[in-house]
Amino acid sequence: MQEPEEPFVLASVSVVCRRWPSVEDLPHAVHLIHTFTAEISKKALPDLLEHGDSSLFFRVLQAVDESVNLIHHEKLRQYRLAMQLIPSKMTLKGGKLQAMKELYKRYRGAVDDDTVRAVAAEPELPVLKWLHSCEPRIFKNFTGFEERIFRFASTNDRKGVVRWLVKLFPDTVRSLEFAAGGGHLDLIKWLMKHTKWDTEVEAAFYKAVQAGHVMKFLAANYSFNWSEKAMANAQMHGHTETVKWLYFHLGMKLLPHEVNAARNDFIDLLELMDKETDFCRNPTVFFAGCGNNHPEVAEWYKDHYGNPRKRKHCSQ
């Protein structure tokens, strides 16, 4: 047995020994187990979630409940700390929701600021519905809770969470920025159809530069004066298809970001810039490729413009 698991196994054994009369013939064993678990029980639940096997959670929770070594406020502290860790350390299949319900049943104060932040960081619909049912004022009491959930859900295409929030708060004006940044076109269409979405969509347009299909949809359905920033963002992040669309469809100028393309190994973008401009004649492209461990960029430059090191040597 691996050493980190021993305290939790022994804690479970301790519970069994207290529950089954047939083991009363071994009082010395029970005493030894109680003595051993006394030292680890003050942090048993949070330690289990941080470093152990969360599948043992309910057995260890039972051990904490029945511990004669912990005073009441020490148990409450464990419940609160465990509640903060469960959103990130357990899965729904692994009993996340049931674990949170059990802790809340024991100590309502376990739902504090840190727990709310943990839930908002990884929002899952069953957990949100349960939390709202037992703490209906939570969205008003904790500033930014709803906004954080919406941002995460939109960015990660959690349609169920987004729709639930919209139904819960139908009058909230929703931003398209986060769904655009995640490239979630279907979600954008749904938000535009079912919510009071923010018509100041400049931020959404610039986020959409990272997802060309979203940008094209927004451009086709909303009048907007594109600025140089859109092209700059697309080139700096190596979104070549978006750059092509801005250049060929909207007639925007390519910008001299050839060195950035070389530093980041955007060879397809270098190819486009080479065909349409003379930016790539810059020898710094070659040296940026070498200096950033992109030998393919250096070879690309030599194939198109020769070896700048040889030219430098000849000129001397």
- The Cα–Cα gap between 17 and 30 comes to 6
- Tell me what pLDDT residue 30 has: 58
- Tell me what pLDDT residue 313 has: 43
Round the CA-based radius of gyration of the chain to a whole number and report it.
Answer: 29
- Tell me what pLDDT residue 283 has: 94
- The Cα–Cα gap between 248 and 242 comes to 10
- The vertex-33 CA angle with 25 and 66, nearest 5°, equals 95
First to last CA, the chain: 71
DSSP 3-state of 123: coil
Q: Could you list the pLDDT tens digit for every one of the 316 residues in the chain?
A: 344 444 444 555 555 555 555 555 556 655 655 555 555 467 889 999 988 788 889 989 988 888 877 889 999 999 999 999 999 999 999 999 999 999 999 999 999 989 999 999 989 999 999 999 998 888 888 888 999 999 999 999 999 999 999 999 999 989 888 888 888 889 989 998 999 887 666 666 666 656 566 777 777 776 666 678 878 888 998 988 888 888 888 888 999 999 999 999 999 999 999 999 999 999 999 999 999 999 999 999 999 999 988 755 444 4
- Tell me what pLDDT residue 201 has: 65
Instruction: Give the count of beta carbons closer than 10 Å to the beta carbon of residue 315.
Output: 6
Q: Are the C-beta atoms of residues 67 and 74 closer than 8 Å to each other?
A: no
- Tell me what pLDDT residue 4 has: 43
**Taking the model in full, what pTM does it have?**
0.64
- The Cα–Cα gap between 79 and 167 comes to 32
- Tell me what pLDDT residue 138 has: 86
The amino acid present at 297, given as its one-letter code, is: V
* DSSP secondary structure letters along 274-310: HHH-SGGG-THHHHHHHHTT-HHHHHHHHHHH--HHH
Own/partner long-range contacts of 111-119 (Cβ < 8 Å, ≥24 apart): 111/83, 111/135, 111/138, 112/80, 112/84, 113/142, 114/84, 115/80, 115/83, 115/84, 115/87, 116/142, 116/145, 117/148, 118/84, 118/85, 118/86, 118/87, 118/88, 119/87
